[in-house]
Amino acid sequence: MTKLRHITQKATYKISNMTVRTRLIVLTILGLAITMAIWGWIQLRVLDVILVEQQVKRLHDLAETVSTYYQRFPSGRGLSALDDTIEYHVNSDERLMRIDLFSVVNGEIEYIVGAGRIPYEWPENAISSAIEKLKTERIELNTEGGPALGLLYPFIAEKDTQVFVGVIVFSQSRLEILTRAKRLLLFSTMGLLFAIIFVLALSYRWLIGRPLGVIIDTIDDFQAGKYVRRIPITRLDEWGQMADHFNLMADEIERVLARNLELQRNLEERVQEATHKWFNCSNR
């Protein structure tokens, strides 16, 4: 506890001995760093949401196309042609991992057609959730080929049979974009931070250094007996307010000194008169 108090006192002492310029730079760096970190995190989150939405839209359109074709040609040559089309589509697009078409009958999953680069079994909880809600289910996946995004697209086929289209696309490109965005955001943030600090350091003399020097010189002259000196700052900011207050105080001090000097002069004259009268009376 004593050691912690000593460290706290030491840190407080160091902070209290910092110049205004150093404190201003430190507070600026901290404030900008925190603000830019929060802003950067928000920007990356928004970018990630946009990229995911684009992928989901693409998966949704693809799943809707497969479901539409299946509802028109649910058997025979239609399924054979659909299987060939899915396989060709998966092989021609490196971003696609799988396209599966399966149905759920009495809680059992029955595979219909599909193709994929990597073997994968859809999670039962995701299928159960899609069955209950009968809504599109989006899933973040970790596969052998890396991170991926899956989409379960349910629809009702003939004879009230629930059919699902499962589409999986690799998310590596999205992660690469986010990584590049993080790097670019970091470099741009550091550059902006250094630029602001540079401008702040240059403007310190005009904002603080010069007015402070004028005030200190005037106060030193005033203490040395030059009571007619005033702070020649007519700005409307805090320095101007300080100058006005000092000048008013200096005027009041000058008036008090003038009155004291006048009283002292009158007192000396009276003493001289009294001394002169006493001297004349003594000679008689």
**Digit-coded pLDDT (tens) for 169-209:** 888 888 888 889 888 888 888 888 888 888 877 777 777 77
Do 173 and 220 belong to one domain?
no
Q: Higher confidence at residue 208 or residue 64? A: 64
Report yes or no on 11 lying in a domain.
Answer: no
Is pTM beyond 0.85 here?
no
CATH number at residue 93: 3.30.450.20
Map tokens 């003399």 to a residue: 205
CB 115 within 8 A of CB 81: no
Q: Note whether 119 and 221 are same-domain residues.
A: no
Indicate whether 230 and 171 sit together in one domain.
no
134, 163, 178 - which closes a domain? 178
Most confident of 12-26, 64-78, 125-139, 227-241: 64-78
226 in the same domain as 150:
no
Give yes or no: residues 67 and 114 share one domain.
Answer: yes
Domain boundary among 128, 155, 178: 178
Do both 48 and 149 map to the same domain? Answer: yes
Range of the domain at 120: 43-178
Using CA atoms, how far apart are residues 100 and 153, in angstroms rounded to an integer?
10
For the record, the structure tokens of 282 come out as: 């003594």
In a 13 Å sphere around the CA of 17, the CA atoms on its Cβ side amount to 6
Q: Residue 199 domain-assigned? A: no
Same domain, 55 and 167: yes
The count of structural domains within the chain is 2
Mean per-residue pLDDT of the chain: 79
User: How far are the Cα atoms of 54, 78, 87 from residue 61, in angstroms, in the given order?
Assistant: 11, 20, 17
pLDDT (0 to 100) of residue 14: 46
**Model confidence over 266-282: pLDDT tens digits?**
777 777 776 767 666 66
Tokens for 129? 């959730």
